[in-house]
Each structure stands twice: as structure tokens, then as C-alpha cells.
Amino acid sequence: MIQVTPHMRILLAAEPVDFRKGIDGLSGICRKVLQSDPFSGYLFVFINRRRTAIKILCYDSQGFWLCQKRLSKGRFNWWPKKGQSAGRFLETHELQMLLWNGDPFHTRAAPAWRRLSV
């Protein structure tokens, strides 16, 4: 089971990918397009061309996880614009909002770290 924790690194691929690709194909995209190591433990998030499904690739030190969510109705409303950067980092709460078909950058959450005053 994958547990998404606040300290995890999440990298979102801006360009849509062919969802016929499996673990090996998506690992290649991690290396070539995102220029990241698929064995790094990052969560890599991909979308299909029609924006109806998301896949998440993750390595947990024993093997790869490949998770997919396909919407039963409609499309994912938010995704980075093409031509910006190949990848974009997300926080955990932003990934949760994205998976619920929301806009991860128009939500408010408490900062991940706060200095305590003594």
C-alpha cells in the first residue's frame, strides 16, 4: 500500500503521456523527459491526452507501484500549461486536491513548517 506523507517528493509531468505505457515506459519518461531517477522514491504523476485519467509511478525500495485513477464522468480541470517546464513539484495536499479534480494552486493550507517562538 502507498501512503502519501508530507515529506514525500511529488513530481508532476506537464505533458500528457500515452497510457498504454506501463512501468517501464513511464520510467523512461522519468529519465528522459523529467530528468529524474525513477528509483528515487518520488511519486511521478502523469495524465493521459484526454485528461480523463491519472497514473502515479513510485518505487518503494522493493519494486514499483503503478496506480491509476480514471474519472467516471468529465475530465480533470487543472493541469500545467504546455511549454512551461517538463515537470512541476507538488506538495502532498496539492496532490490530494488534484486527485479530487480540484485546482491544487487555489487551495489554502497551513505551511509545512512553522518556527516556534520561545
Domain ranges of the chain: 10-99
Mean pLDDT of all residues in 73-82 = 86
Q: Could you tell me if 33 and 86 are in contact, meaning their C-beta atoms sit under 8 angstroms apart?
A: yes
CA distance 51 to 29: 18
Give the residue, 81 or 37, on which the prediction is more confident. 37
pTM across the whole model:
0.86
What does the pLDDT look like over 79-104, one tens digit per residue? Answer: 887 766 788 888 888 898 899 988 88
pLDDT attached to residue 10: 95
The set of cell numbers assigned to 51 is: 485528461
Residue 84: predicted pLDDT: 67
pLDDT at res. 116: 67
Distance CA 76, CA 102 (A): 8
